Amino acid sequence: ADILKVRDIEESMAGRYSSHTLYTLSTAEKRGSHTNFIDLLFSKKFLENTNYKSDYEEMKEEIACGGFPESYSLPNKQRKRWFSSYLNSRIIKDFQELHPTKRADTKGDITKILSLLAGRTSQLLNYATIAKATGITVPTVKEYILTLESMFLLKITKPYYKNLSKRVTKTPKLHFTDSGLASYLCGVIAENIENSDDFGNLLENYVYTEILKHSTWAETSTEIMHFRTDKKEEVDIILESDSGKLIAIEIKKTTIIKDEDLKGLVKFAQYQKGDFFLGVILYGGDKLLPLKRDGFEFWAVPIVAMW
């Protein structure tokens, strides 16, 4: 957990420690690859490899198994049992230590909220909707979600705006930090994930978490955000480097790119007036493809390029 958010620690530790966030294993790490996808994008070295071998079944397995070292290689039945144990013996116990509460059924509250959030991963975070669905007050829901974020189970992602104050005040998105945990809470395994209503959101969550993990060892320091207009035109991920370079990433589960898939990227390019570094669609195909629309140039990049 985030040491500065642990209530029993009174010391600020200022000047006496540094922190490094350790997420679950990325797909690249599991395969022994040193590929850093963020650096590949900002250097445009991904253009040097045009021969990708895409395995759609493999991608579904990666989403469903997640990156916990103890569980990702287990058979489905054993992995399900592991996640059940992890939820009950670790998450609930740690939550109760980090967030003492007088509510009678904290375990039931957290189980309900996590299951509900898993079904809404990669979507805008609406506290009022969650409160109504769980029967918990809005302030309590906010406190619970902040605690779950401090436990590194969830990640709240700001929206991208040129106006910095809007990044704080406008609605953020929510993701799980491990797609395997999100899949378990949705009742999804690799064999049925493609037929699940949650597939698109879980795929976006998976790509988001992979990029989040890569950001911890990338040479290029970045902030990860999302983009959404008042007319609900959106881009799944925006990367902004310290130097101000912007990369817009749209995620599609299909193996074929259609013209309408570029809508969000075009809107972002128009919002930036063309002043951005790169726009890509990560998709389930195996070809690196140049794309053009409305005078802007983008790239379709196979999801396997991440590892």
From start to end of 128-196, where are the E strands? 154-157, 173-176
- The pLDDT assigned to 4 comes to 64
Confidence of residue 13 (pLDDT cuts 50, 70, 90): confident
Query: What is the residue whose two structure tokens read 């930090």?
Result: 177
- CA-nearest of 1, 24, 21 to 177 is 24
Q: Which residues contact 195 (CB under 8 A, 6 or more apart)?
A: none
Q: Which amino acid is at 51?
A: N
- The pLDDT assigned to 63 comes to 95
- CA-nearest of 272, 264, 274 to 296 is 274
Q: Each residue of 166-189: pLDDT tens digit?
A: 998 899 999 999 999 999 999 999
Mean pLDDT computed over every residue of the chain: 91
Residue 102 in this model has a pLDDT that exceeds 80: no
Residue 5 in this model has a pLDDT that exceeds 70: no
- The pLDDT assigned to 139 comes to 93
Radius of gyration of the chain (CA): 20
pTM, to two decimals: 0.92
In this structure, what token pair is assigned to residue 180? 């395997």
- CA-nearest of 220, 248, 218, 223 to 235 is 248
Residue 157 in this model has a pLDDT that exceeds 90: yes
**φ, ψ at 175 (rounded to 5°):** -135, 155
Q: Each residue of 228-254: pLDDT tens digit?
A: 998 889 999 999 999 999 999 999 999
In this structure, what token pair is assigned to residue 257? 């790119």
Residue 50 in this model has a pLDDT that exceeds 60: yes
Residue 299 in this model has a pLDDT that exceeds 80: yes
Residue 192 in this model has a pLDDT that exceeds 80: yes
**How many CB atoms within 10 Å of residue 227?**
23
| Contact predicate 167/236, CB 8 Å | no
- CA-nearest of 160, 130, 171 to 148 is 130
In the chain, pLDDT over 90 holds for what percent of residues?
69
